Amino acid sequence: MIPAAFEYARASSVEEASKLLNKFGEDAKVLAGGHSLIPLMRLRLAQPTALIDINGIKELDHIKEDGHKLRIGALTRHVTIQNSSVVKDKLPLLAEIAGEVGDNQVRNMGTMGGVIAHADAAGDYPTLALMLDAEIVTNQRTIQAKDFFKDLFTTSLGPDEIVTEVVFPVANGPHKYIKFRRRLFDWAIVGVAAQKMNGDWRIGLTNVGPTPVRAKAVEDALKKGAKPEEAAQHASDGLNPAGDLRASPEYKKHLARVLTKRAIQQST
Amino acid sequence: MAVTTMIGARIHRREDPKLVTGHGSYVDDLRQVGMLYMSVVRSAQAHARIKSIDITDAGKAPGVVAIYTARDFKTMISGGLPVTESLIADKKYVPNQFPIAETEVVYFGEPVAVVLASERYQAADAAEQVQVDYEPLPVVVDFEKAMQKGSDKAHSDGPDNIAWDVKFPGGDIEAAFKEADVVVKERILQQRVFPLSMEPRVVMANYVPFGNQLTLWTSTQVPHFVRIFLCFGLGIPESQIRVISPDVGGGFGSKLRPYPEEYLAAAASKLSGSPVKWVETRTENLQATTHGRGHIFDIEVAAKRDGTLLGLKVTNLSDNGAYVGVFGALQSALSLFLAPGCYKWKAFDGRTVGILSNKMSTDPYRGAGRPEAAHLVERAVDLVAHELKMDPADVRRKNFPTEKEFPFTNPLGMVYDSGNYAKTLDKAMQIVGYQELRRRQAELRKQGRYLGIGLSTYVEICGVGPSAATDHVSGSISLVESSIVRVHPTGSVTVAVGTHSHGQGHDTTFSQIVADTLGVPYESVQINHGDTSDTPFGYGTYGSRSLPVGGISIYKSCQKVVDKAKKIAAHMLEAAEADVVFDQGRFHVKGSPDRAKTMGEVAFRAHQTGLPDGMEEGLEAVTYFDPPNFTWPFGAHICVVEVDPETGAVDIQKYVAVDDCGNVINPMIVDGQIHGGVAQAIGQALFEEVVYAEDTGQLRTGTLLDYSIPGIGEIPDLELDRTITPSPTNDLGVKGVGEAGTIAASAAVINAVVDALSPLGIKHVDMPASPDRLWKMMQEARK
Amino acid sequence: MKHKVATTVNGRRHEHEVEPRLLLVHYLRDNLGLTGTHIGCDTSQCGACTILVDGQAVKSCTMFAVQAEGKSLTTIEGMAKDGELHPIQQAFWDEHGLQCGYCTPGFIMAASYLLSQNPNPTEDEIRKGLEGNLCRCTGYVNIIKAVQTAAKTMGGAEAKPSERAAARRS
């Protein structure tokens, strides 16, 4: 299928991109990897009037270690994150998650910023960002992950605001991401990330609600000394996932519990 | 006799060099000067009255040349799409399908208008701007409810939703059930699936008014069949229609009928005076290319305590969709004819009800009725085994006809040509290590793990078909295949056939037959297919028939060529014909191997003066082959799975297939067919299901985002082996193999899943055995 | 408004004015006549349109032609050199890694990328590396063999069989 017509402009700096967004108005969109946007455009479920191509803004493609932080540029491709020795060393969970996004072709194009800004409930990075208290840096401000993901496909980004960087804490303790799916390349029916950080567990859930979820109740139970299988029972506390063709709400809640247990147990 | 160096050899496919280099020519790779692109406006409603179609805005869109609706096409196309109604002995209501809706749409995705524009993108844009005003009508989605009296109707002017209701009795079923120690019953679902060839359909039409000539390029399995119906529909003589089907990117049964878009593109070319191309998008493909399966089977099985099978009752409810598929009734009929499987039943009783609903038509999908049959009877045998606490392998063995009982007649009078069912089962069990697996299963069960072993011993019917048997279902059409074998003066050979490969490698397989039979170099043989202008009439490629019908036709033509060549050789050698021997591609005088002429020398001579008195020049032969019987491949598949007790995820750990398709022309191609067939059945067993919204009839699995075919991570390594039991019904002893894997595998997988979950008391699992379904079943069983 | 796009495809330079929405795959097929790259879905699942852009495998249906400005592209037509099949093409032929052939160009291009990153992949790595391509004919069995064979002929050491990827669902 074929997208509807749109205007196209390349930005060579974040400032220019922001100006172009202003110029083309609220129906303009940023084009990074395009792997969420272009299929929607082909189905004509998205019909932006203009695309601002930021792929030429080289400074957005970076991985920097900054003290106890890891700064990932918005244009950094999944494949770069997956193979980065810095990421493998400082936040190996992120490298593993990057390697499980889509397939090789998708990973060669898709970007950190794109996944974060798209805010798909099945996105994997948002879960990690939320559970690790990452910061989302834009051309205008820095937003805490907990304040960023507002609803399904909805973030706190303003109309001319562009994600430039996502800042994660360094964490290289035991960790595991379990992406439960029917096929190797599918998105998560339910995903669970576990990361031990500063002596405590962080647990994040993917695709169990409109936004990523941090399983605080599980974290608290673990902190109080509960065994993984006991703590994991709290993974579905307060969840109200929507059912879909792949899974009923009950099954998703069940998976949240089972996979949380496994993610903690299998963390290395 | 000729040399047999090619037949049975693992010859690399001659089709491949162009395909691996990107030089294949699929229809969308072709274009015509001045060509317009056609975009089809499709119904967004599953059932509605069309109040009006407003083309004002669309007509003004850039590049638009014309917009046509049913009113325009009515002047150009008469009648409707074909339905093999004669399959439906007791016909009830079979609505006529015009290629485009005029007053009422009856399925989501039905064509309502077409747009012609200069460019692909312009046609897509303008199609969006065609405004159709619909008045919604009640939507029929649940086809079991649709057969009830007083149900909403899929067609507002129909009497009800019943397309047919036919019984197939076979023997004294009541007596068989009276004798039974146990009777088991089950409802077995065959969900709708998408055939999903990787190449969607594409049509390009060029009508030239001078001479009333239509050329139609189309991605089809059946070019000659399409031409017949274009002739009927468009009123153009068959001789003036040329249908060309170049490389075809898979079909799996979904491209073996004429389609609305073929009529519409041809008519649009005629109306507009320009060549027209239509390229189906995947989204359209899922809406408007026929679906497969779509049945409910209610079965009752009677057996003795020792495992002897007695009687099988099967009621088939078939979800036809809004229009009965061209071969829609065939798959229901086949599902019953083959339901007895490879077992000795005393009696069988079948009934099929064809039901209309507001969905896309169901039509053949790889196996067409036979996967359904194998699935139900293989589940039935396992249900009996479970009930009697017997090993399912033992129940099977107990009820197989022995090798000596062939030809074997099933309760419906189908005569199985040859078989040795125990042999394939034994071999498969040996390869998989059956006894060891059972021991391991017992151990794992103690640990709370669910290992399952599933057997499927299937028989299938191929080689459609012998006219004596198909007469009453085909409407007296003789389902022959034809060939022309022509030896050129310089000795190379052109063969033209009515079948049409769409991935099966016919160019290679057929050339192997020709090379051996004529004793000519394999490289000198050219196979033509897919273009009605240079091939003899044939019904095309489906039903694993191309080799046992088309291939035998080629063999027979080659024999006729050899017969004539022998006469010429005798003349050349100045010997009596009876003294001439044909061997290794040479004709020589008996006892004098040096006094010889090659086929090439004979061919040259055949085009010279001074042939024997009364003999015509040339060296070619034509055969229309009507086989004396069907062929009956069979085999045994064993699948080993482990089901995750917590999540319901199924992991296929091992898959063994031992198939017997008679003699093998090219083992590499045969194995490839099994691989692909098994993968598709694994898809149905574990992953795939077409879902329509119950309330609106809209397609919920409308893209590949929502419909899961297996990827490379989901199909395990497949261990194949074979036995060879030649078919006695044809010269080469071949049976056909295109569908065997699909027919066998769904039962093997599901039987394994059920076996895995049997400690929970689970006796049956429907497809797809998705993790959420299995989790729910496990939850309920544990209560 | 049309935009200029200048690319090098299979070593040959091209320059066109195109609509921004023109998908790269349509540019290749319709503008350049390189019809070996196929389209099998609308939603970036099937991988039939896979090509190399600056050596990286991408799905050309999920990229606009304007995005290819200044880039070097390799399509299936660019794989065979001087009448010799590329070892991956040869391996697909030898191992019967194709039937209808429609998905094949995409698989070969994806395999080419995989082997450029990992010359000696295990069976699991081949599965993982080709997860973005769908085939409906072969059941993938011979595609895996073809990639193993290609790896050998291209100089990767003996391809290792491996434990099946049971861990993927954990």
Using CB atoms, list chains with 3+ pairs below 8 Å to chain B: A, C
Residue A223 distance to chain B (closest CA, Å) = 25
Q: Between the CA atoms of B497, B498, B499 and B501, what dihedral angle is there, to the nearest 10 degrees?
A: 60
Each domain of chain C, given as residue ranges in start order, spans 3-78, 87-153
B757 inside domain: yes
Q: What is the pLDDT of residues A216-268, one digit of tens each?
A: 999 999 999 999 999 999 999 999 999 999 999 999 999 999 999 999 999 99
Chain C residues with CB under 8 Å of B715 CB are: 139-141
For C99, the closest of B24, B25, B503 (CB atoms) is: B503
Q: Directed axis angle between helix B740-757 and helix B771-782, to 10°?
A: 30
End-to-end CA distance of chain B: 70
For B646, the closest of A182, A247, A258 (CB atoms) is: A258
Domain boundary pick from B565, B592, B625: B625
Question: In terms of DSSP bridges, do strands B131-136 and B48-54 run parallel, antiparallel, or are they unpaired?
Answer: antiparallel
A202 inside domain: yes
Q: How far apart are CA B769 and CA B767, in angstroms?
A: 5
In this structure, are B723 and B597 located in the same domain?
no
Q: How far apart are CA B731 and CA B737, in angstroms?
A: 17
A143 inside domain: yes
For C136, the closest of B196, B653, B672 (CB atoms) is: B196
Q: Does the beta-carbon distance from A55 to C170 stay under 8 Å? A: no
pLDDT for res B88: 66
Full-model pTM: 0.97
B472 inside domain: no
Stretch C131-135: mean pLDDT, rounded? 98
Number of compact structural domains in chain A: 3
Q: What is the pLDDT of residues B169-182, one digit of tens each?
A: 999 999 999 999 99
> Percent of chain C scored above 90 by pLDDT?
90
Q: How confident is the model at residue B86 (pLDDT cuts 50, 70, 90)?
A: low
Question: Does A141 contact B at CB distance below 8 Å?
Answer: no
For B701, the closest of A180, A245, A251 (CB atoms) is: A245
Query: Measuring CA to CA, which residue among B569, B608, B571 is closest to residue B490?
Result: B608
Nearest-by-CA chain B residue for C134: B711
Is the complex ipTM more than 0.90?
yes
Question: Does A45 contact C at CB distance below 8 Å?
Answer: no
B215 inside domain: yes
A35 inside domain: yes
β-partners of residue B114 are B40, B68
CATH entry 1.20.120.550 includes domain C87-153: no
- Residue C167 CB-density burial (10 A; 0-12 exposed, 13-18 middle, 19+ buried): exposed
In this structure, are B643 and B567 located in the same domain?
no
Question: Does A43 contact B at CB distance below 8 Å?
Answer: yes
pLDDT for res B2: 42
Q: What is the pLDDT of residues A129-183, one digit of tens each?
A: 999 999 999 999 999 999 999 999 999 999 889 999 999 999 999 999 999 999 9
Chain A residues with CB under 8 Å of C56 CB are: 79, 108
Q: Is pLDDT at C146 greater than 90 in this prediction?
A: yes
Q: Does the beta-carbon distance from B124 to A247 stay under 8 Å? A: no
A85 inside domain: yes
Domain that residue A67 falls in? 58-169
In this structure, are B724 and B600 located in the same domain?
no
Q: Is pLDDT at B482 greater than 60 in this prediction?
A: yes
Stretch B683-704: mean pLDDT, rounded? 98
Buried b (16+ CB within 10 A) or exposed e, B439-460: eebeeeeeeebbbbbbbbbbbb
Using CB atoms, list chains with 3+ pairs below 8 Å to chain A: B, C
Q: How confident is the model at residue B469 (pLDDT cuts 50, 70, 90)?
A: confident
Chain C residues with CB under 8 Å of B672 CB are: 96, 99, 137-138, 142
Q: Do B654 and B640 touch, CB atoms closer than 8 A?
A: yes
Q: Between the CA atoms of B743, B745, B747 and B750, what dihedral angle is there, to the nearest 10 degrees?
A: -150
Chain A residues with CB under 8 Å of C19 CB are: 5
Q: How far apart are CA B374 and CA B637, in angstroms?
A: 12
Domain that residue B423 falls in? 292-464+629-782
β-partners of residue B652 are B641
Number of compact structural domains in chain B: 3
- B691: left (phi > 0), else alpha (psi -120 to 50), else beta? beta
Residue B679 distance to chain C (closest CA, Å) = 5
Strands (E), B584-708: 586-589, 592-598, 620-625, 634-643, 650-660
Q: How far apart are CA B54 and CA A16, in angstroms?
A: 43
B77 inside domain: yes
In this structure, are B538 and B519 located in the same domain?
yes
For A2, the closest of B121, B646, B701 (CB atoms) is: B121
Chain B residues with CB under 8 Å of C141 CB are: 675, 715, 717-718
Q: Does the beta-carbon distance from C64 to A38 stay under 8 Å? A: yes
Chain C residues with CB under 8 Å of A177 CB are: none
In this structure, are B373 and B408 located in the same domain?
yes
Q: Is pLDDT at B686 greater than 50 in this prediction?
A: yes
Give the CA diameter of chain A: 58
Q: What is the pLDDT of residues A195-217, one digit of tens each?
A: 999 999 999 999 999 999 999 99
In this structure, are A82 and A12 located in the same domain?
no
Q: Is pLDDT at B467 greater than 90 in this prediction?
A: no
A1 inside domain: no
Q: Does the beta-carbon distance from B121 to C21 stay under 8 Å? A: yes
**Which amino acid makes up residue C43?**
T
In this structure, are B614 and B645 located in the same domain?
no
Q: Which one of C53, C67, C126 makes the best mutation probe of the A interface by having the most chain A beta carbons within 10 Å? A: C67
B151 inside domain: no
In this structure, are B754 and B640 located in the same domain?
yes
In this structure, are B761 and B650 located in the same domain?
yes
β-partners of residue A203 are A194
Average pLDDT, chain B: 96
Domain CATH code at residue A11: 3.30.43.10
Question: Does A185 contact B at CB distance below 8 Å?
Answer: yes
Other C-beta atoms within 10 Å of C21: how many? 22
Average pLDDT, chain C: 92
pLDDT for res B355: 96
Domain CATH code at residue B586: 3.30.365.10
Chain C residues with CB under 8 Å of B703 CB are: 41-43
Question: Does C113 contact A at CB distance below 8 Å?
Answer: yes
pLDDT for res B89: 62
In this structure, are B275 and B382 located in the same domain?
no
Q: Which run of H or E residues covers position B706?
A: none
A2 inside domain: no
Q: Is pLDDT at B484 greater than 50 in this prediction?
A: yes
Q: What is the pLDDT of residues B103-139, one digit of tens each?
A: 999 999 999 999 999 999 999 999 999 999 999 999 9
Q: What is the pLDDT of residues B609-621, one digit of tens each?
A: 999 999 999 999 9
In this structure, are B591 and B639 located in the same domain?
no
In this structure, are A63 and A156 located in the same domain?
yes
Q: Does the beta-carbon distance from B772 to A4 stay under 8 Å? A: no
Q: Does the beta-carbon distance from C44 to A39 stay under 8 Å? A: yes
Q: How far apart are CA B602 and CA B585, in angstroms?
A: 11
pLDDT for res B237: 98
Q: Which residues contact A175 (CB under 8 A, 6 or more apart)?
A: A92, A93, A96, A193, A194, A195, A196, A267, A268
B606 inside domain: yes
For C50, the closest of A1, A43, A105 (CB atoms) is: A105
Q: Name the superfamily (CATH) of residues C3-78.
A: Beta-grasp domain (3.10.20.30)
Nearest-by-CA chain A residue for B39: A1
Question: Does A44 contact B at CB distance below 8 Å?
Answer: yes
Other C-beta atoms within 10 Å of B76: how many? 18
Q: How far apart are CA A27 and CA A16, in angstroms?
A: 17
In this structure, are A132 and A220 located in the same domain?
no
Question: Does A48 contact C at CB distance below 8 Å?
Answer: no
Domain CATH code at residue A81: 3.30.465.10
For A185, the closest of B120, B281, B711 (CB atoms) is: B711
In this structure, are B284 and B359 located in the same domain?
no
Nearest-by-CA chain B residue for C132: B711
Nearest-by-CA chain C residue for A53: C67
> Percent of chain B scored above 70 by pLDDT?
98
For C76, the closest of B21, B25, B503 (CB atoms) is: B21
B157 inside domain: no
Chain B residues with CB under 8 Å of C42 CB are: 281-283, 703-704
Q: What is the pLDDT of residues C79-130, one digit of tens each?
A: 999 999 999 999 999 999 999 999 999 999 999 999 999 999 999 999 999 9
